[in-house]
Amino acid sequence: MQERLRSKFLHNIELIGRYWENIGDCNKAIDCYQKALDIDSLAEVFYQRLMLLYKHIGRVSDAYAVYHRCCKTLSANMGIPPSPATEEIYQGLKGED
């Protein structure tokens, strides 16, 4: 039960973040996703959304920092690299800085 509630909560945070993105308030979306990572640092979707938002607003160095945080967190906690989707976003950052 606890895991289902946590999952629903994180899903709703993602919906709220996407709402802020859709109406163009990138700062509120960024805050939302950062808070989500405070709750679940292994939820890769929030790293992905942050990387894309930072790229969108021209803060590519922040997007790189998010990527490296994601790599470190996933490696330390699960012993795995980021997903291909995260790697694709990372590759898209190159040449933007």
Q: What is the pLDDT of residues 21-41, one digit of tens each?
A: 999 999 999 999 999 999 999
Look up the CATH superfamily of 2-93. Tetratricopeptide repeat domain (1.25.40.10)
**CA torsion sign, 39 to 44 to 47 to 52?**
negative
- CA angle in degrees (0–180, nearest 5) for 91-68-2: 110
Q: Is the dihedral of CA 79, 13, 86, 69 positive or negative?
A: negative
Q: Is the pTM of this model over 0.85?
A: yes
Terminal Cα distance for the chain, rounded: 44
Residues 51-84: tens digit of each pLDDT: 999 999 999 999 999 999 999 999 999 899 999 9
